[in-house]
Amino acid sequence: MTEVRTLSPTPEQWSFAFGGRDPLLTVAPGTVVEVTTEDCFGGLVRGHDDLPSQVCTFPYLNPVSGPIAVEGAEVGDTLAVHFVEIVPARDWAVSTTFPHFGALTTTHATAMLHPALEERVWVYDVDVASGTCRFSARRSDFSVELPLDPMHGTVGVAPAAGEVLMSITPAAHGGNMDTPELRAGVTAYFPVNVPGGMLSIGDGHARQGEGEVCGTAVEAAMQTVVVIDLVKGSAPASPRLESDDFLITTGSTRPLEDAYRMSQLDLVGWTGSLLGLDDLDALQLVSQAGLAPVGNVVDTNYTMVGKLPKGLLGPAVAYDGTHDRLRAVGADYLRRR
């Protein structure tokens, strides 16, 4: 029977960076882990008057749960993380405009003469049973129900070369990629840069539009279940994702066009290796069949995503069928629970 472990860190155990931390939990490959995560504000923004600039303290934003070390994970291996379930832990969630943060305001990296956008908080009612959250405008009576689409904005491993990166930064190790593709049913593949890999998870979103344009999603604490496994060797240059229907690559850097290039280059290479195509044939196929959703355009680095339908692969499978195998482990866990 698959081993099941639990990680529910206290606020004193939260991490706000990837790298430089001892593990809170060590697991064998193939273990199911039930993880609790707090929202990006550490649960401090609860109402309209709780302005983040007043109730939160930089750099203590975007707490992550972990690290989780994986036995036998060596530099150059691949950590496979299948998301079995992501469920909002509370009946409310929040979103904000945050001073000097977001795609349509002056920021630390985009200096402007005009002031930042007004700081404002929106509180969403979350109904897990109905699968909805409610947006209510602050300056009118308009409101509308939106479907829940829970995902984790921040997932990653320790960076290479002993580097320590803030949890708000996406890069080759993962981190705050903020892609809605990272939802339940998806397997994520991360490069192992240090012994044990050191996986951390946080920044739950009840839902998020592509780009996270205002700087925050529908930020929510989460109860999440993952299966963590190890693939020897084959470390990707940047995190890869796999759903039932798509191969998915990521690129995180600035400017946005270079993040796009990174994600597309990896998608071309991954496609070519699976189908035995040379670079130009793989480039041609991806050019005509690929998709390119935006992850985020607000963080310290931007994130772009590349997607290719798996129906084009024929009998070829990624990572020797790891996604299907871990999906079956997750389904068995849910049946037995």
Specify whether the CB–CB gap between 320 and 189 falls below 8 A.
no
- pLDDT exceeds 90 at position 109: no
Please give the Cα distance from 155 to 81 (Å, whole number).
Answer: 10
Percent of the chain with pLDDT over 70: 100
Please give the structure tokens belonging to residue 56. 């939160």
What would the pLDDT profile of 116-148 be if each residue is shown by its tens digit? 899 999 999 999 999 999 999 999 999 999 999
Please give the Cα distance from 250 to 226 (Å, whole number).
Answer: 20
User: How sure is the predictor about 214, in pLDDT bands with cuts at 50, 70 and 90?
Assistant: very high
- pLDDT exceeds 90 at position 209: yes
Longest CA pairwise span in the chain (Å): 61
Specify whether the CB–CB gap between 29 and 228 falls below 8 A.
yes
Is the bond preceding residue 255 a cis peptide, omega within 30 degrees?
Answer: yes
Please give the structure tokens belonging to residue 96. 């904000």
Residues in a beta bridge with 134: 125, 145
Please give the Cα distance from 264 to 292 (Å, whole number).
Answer: 8
What would the pLDDT profile of 162-181 be if each residue is shown by its tens digit? 999 999 999 999 999 999 99
For the chain, what's the residue count? Answer: 337
| DSSP characters over 28-73 | -TTEEEEEEE--TTTT---STT--HHHH--TT--S-EEEEEEETT-
pTM for the model stands at 0.97
Please give the structure tokens belonging to residue 299. 């963080």
Determine the average pLDDT of the residues in 78-94. 98
| pLDDT, position 245 | 98
Please give the Cα distance from 64 to 24 (Å, whole number).
Answer: 12
Q: Mean pLDDT over all residues of the chain? A: 97
Determine the average pLDDT of the residues in 196-212. 98
| pLDDT, position 227 | 98
Residues in a beta bridge with 18: 165
Determine the average pLDDT of the residues in 47-62. 95
Please give the structure tokens belonging to residue 261. 């290039």
Please give the Cα distance from 154 to 181 (Å, whole number).
Answer: 12
Please give the Cα distance from 13 to 8 (Å, whole number).
Answer: 9
What would the pLDDT profile of 222-266 be if each residue is shown by its tens digit? 999 999 999 999 999 999 999 999 999 999 999 999 999 999 999
